[in-house]
Amino acid sequence: MTTNSSMALQESTLAQIDAAVRSAVDINDQWAASSPAARSALLRELASALEADRERLVGIANEESFLGTARLNGELDRTAFQLRAFADAVDAGEPFAVIDDEAVPGAPPAGHPRLLRVNVPLGPVAMFSASNFPFAFSVLGGDTASALAAGCPVVVKAHPAHPGLSNAVFELALAAAQRSGAPAGVLSMVSGASREVGVHLVRHADIAAVAFTGSYVGGMALQKEINARPRPIPFFGELGSINPIIALPAALETRGAELAATLAASIAQGCGQFCTSPGVLIAYDNAVTDAFVSQLAAAMDSQNTHAMLSPGIRNAFNEGVARLNRHPAAKRVTTGEQNGEKHPVPNLVLLDTGAFLRDHALREEIFGPSCVVVKVKSSEQLLQVLAAIGGSLTVTVWGAEGNDAETMSIVRGAIRIAGRVLFNGVPTGVAVTRAQHHGGPFPSSTQPQTTSVGLMAMQRFLRPVALQEAPAWLAGRGGIPL
């Protein structure tokens, strides 16, 4: 759907979805073969357009998300930064990188013909917007920016939690694309809260890849549909995480009060609606940990939260917290009571370690300001807890300064299950850099070797091709696809 606001706020029909994909297909070859200057011009124009309309966009976003103008202004800044960062990468020639293995005379294996390894765009990408980042993971977020930089047109699936903002940003983007000289079908949008809209989009024969940020249930439903296609396609799904914090004794003994305040603020940040929100604290069962848990509970009780993104998310949080708190292995240590007429109350629960290891339900993400504490008897049990958690976007290890065998084994265990391992601070907040990796082993993401944040996100939408003894006219294109 590429027209007016009233249409974008409605449930897209199957014919409108087909038309959006068709517009992407019609210009796919043109955009794939576009020059670095053309791609970076579009990305920079999109960034400038967001900034120029900041006041109006932030106002709409705040009405729909309740995230506050300070947070939303920062998120708009990040979105513009992402767009320009990918423009810089395009100008530097990154999507067009060529590996040139010159011919070597003689018999194989030493001898071989000339081979050029180049990258080609996958084709039209279906991008599912996220609820919790209405700018940075939405219409012009990192998935859209990286796909456009790679030379792929994008069909955005707007998130129903912020339809007004999605429509406003999309219309702004259309005008920016026209100013930059990009083809009209480089960006399209469909909308609707029904399952049918998303399913029809990912089933479409001309969609070449899907990028998704959302729940495990929603992501797995899309993965099933994609796998059932006659020709399955890549599904880059970021499905959430419980992001364990490992607090080793050395850290708690020296910085316990400071770390308790920092962790409490991280758990409550954005009302806990971050994919990197800490959901598990793992610490040794001793008096130092007991004191820290008391400090953490008090700090969480003092946190102020705001309304959650949608009634559905709030209901799911209430149900998840109630289920956790009534578990026979759980002991709640925060004092505030949930009240549906007020903002959510941060929730901290002590869990029996054996129950945590046995009961998968205790390891499921609760999307909101909730965290569980697991006290372990040994490093071996700590590693068992990490293994039970499985794939995670992040693991944080406090107090790992020593290089003794026990610390090394814990860090090794953290690296085994996480896409990003922190040794200081908290996991909320993901820098947009070249070295960043926002992904992780399943179930945190479906493609653990790829990232949805940072400049390497562009590689998801590029496919390598080896050109053997290419004619001069083709080799002379410098990696720009046909």
* Model pLDDT, residue 468: 97
**The pairing of beta strand 154-157 with beta strand 187-190:** parallel
- Here the tokens at position 78 are 């990040």
User: Tens-digit pLDDT profile for the chain (482 aa)?
Assistant: 333 333 345 899 999 999 999 999 999 999 999 999 999 999 999 999 999 999 999 999 999 999 999 999 999 999 999 999 999 999 999 999 999 999 999 999 999 999 999 999 999 999 999 999 999 999 999 999 999 999 999 999 999 999 999 999 999 999 999 999 999 999 999 999 999 999 999 999 999 999 999 999 999 999 999 999 999 999 999 998 999 999 999 999 999 999 999 999 999 999 999 999 999 999 999 999 999 999 999 999 999 999 999 999 999 999 999 999 999 999 999 999 888 889 999 999 999 999 999 999 999 999 999 999 999 999 999 999 999 999 999 999 999 999 999 999 999 999 999 999 999 999 999 999 999 999 999 999 999 999 999 999 999 999 999 999 999 999 999 999 99
Sign of CA dihedral 462, 463, 464, 468: negative
Angle at 50 between CA 16 and CA 188, to 5 degrees: 15
* Model pLDDT, residue 240: 84
Contact 289, 252 (CB under 8 A): yes
Q: Which residues pair with 463 in a beta bridge?
A: 120
According to CATH, what is the number of the domain 5-239+445-475?
3.40.605.10
The CA distance from 411 to 421, in Å, is 8
* Model pLDDT, residue 9: 55
Judged by phi (left if over 0) then psi (alpha if -120 to 50, else beta), residue 399 lies in left
Residue type for 378, please?
S
Q: Please tell me which residue in 45, 75, 171, 275 is annotated as part of the active site.
A: 275
Angle at 250 between CA 246 and CA 254, to 5 degrees: 110
Q: Which residues contact 10 (CB under 8 A, 6 or more apart)?
A: 191, 192
What are the two backbone dihedrals, phi and then psi, of residue 335, each rounded to the nearest 5 degrees? -110, -20
Q: Please tell me which residue in 45, 75, 238, 365 is annotated as part of the active site.
A: 238
* Model pLDDT, residue 2: 39
* Model pLDDT, residue 306: 94
* Model pLDDT, residue 1: 36
- If 0-12 CB within 10 Å is exposed, 13-18 middle and 19+ buried, where does residue 85 land? buried
The CA distance from 123 to 147, in Å, is 9
Instruction: Give domain limits for the chain.
Output: 5-239+445-475, 244-422
Q: In what order do the strands lie in the sheet with 209-213?
A: 187-190, 154-157, 125-128, 209-213, 235-238
What are the two backbone dihedrals, phi and then psi, of residue 155, each rounded to the nearest 5 degrees? -110, 110
| 275 belongs to the catalytic site | yes
Query: For the chain, what is the radius of gyration of the CA atoms?
Result: 24
Which 3-state string (H, E, C) describes the chain? CCCCHHHHCCCCCHHHHHHHHHHHHHCHHHHHCCCHHHHHHHHHHHHHHHHHCHHHHHHHHHHHHCCCHHHHHHHHHHHHHHHHHHHHHHHCCHHHCCEEECCECCCCCCCECCEEEEEEECCCEEEECCCCCCCCCCCCCHHHHHHHHHCCCEEEECCCCCHHHHHHHHHHHHHHHHHHCCCHHHEEEECCCCHHHHHHHHHCCCCCEEEEECCHHHHHHHHHHHHCCCCCCCEEEECCCCCEEEECHHHHHHHHHHHHHHHHHHHHHHHHCCCCCCCEEEEECCHHHHHHHHHHHHHHHCCCCCCCCCHHHHHHHHHHHHHHHCCCCEEECCCCCCCCCCCCCCEEEEECHHHHHHCHHHHCCCCCCEEEEEEECCHHHHHHHHHHHCCEEEEEEECCCCCCHHHHHHHHHHHHHEEEEECCCCCCCCCCCCCCCCCCCCCCECCCCCCCCCHHHHHHHEEEEEEECCCHHHHCCCCCCC
* Model pLDDT, residue 341: 82
Which superfamily does 244-422 belong to? Aldehyde Dehydrogenase; Chain A, domain 2 (3.40.309.10)
